[in-house]
Amino acid sequence: MYLSENDVRTIATNTRIGLSDEGIASMTRDLNDLIESLAPITEYDLSGVEPTYHPVPEFINIMRDDVIEPGLTSEAVFANAYAQQDGQFLIPQILGAGGGR
């Protein structure tokens, strides 16, 4: 077994996932099955293989420069609005009146 139920309980606590005792047992089995399914990867001889950090190394920085472009006009923004008032969208009230939150 790769992970014990105590390991899974610790992981669940640290990630704030509430699991019952049955959930811990089930999750332990599932995680160990997942780890077991990855076992064939360990059979490859990777000595001398340099680690890669990106599958396509020639793409060092493909980000474009930020260019300021004109945005929409107020008329275009409100063209399909149901209603507007004072330069804001006017929508129907969805919460009842009351002093609560």
- Tokens standing for 93? 């009230």
C-alpha to C-alpha distances, 81 to 91, 93, 94, nearest whole angstrom: 9, 16, 17
| pLDDT confidence bin for 59, thresholds 50/70/90 | low
Q: How far is Cα 12 from Cα 19, in angstroms, rounded to an integer?
A: 7
CB atoms inside a 10 Å sphere around CB 85: 8
Q: What is the pLDDT of residues 16-39, one digit of tens each?
A: 999 999 999 999 999 999 999 999
Q: Where are the domains of the chain?
A: 5-43
| pLDDT confidence bin for 100, thresholds 50/70/90 | low
Q: Do 5 and 24 meet the contact criterion of CB atoms below 8 Å apart?
A: yes
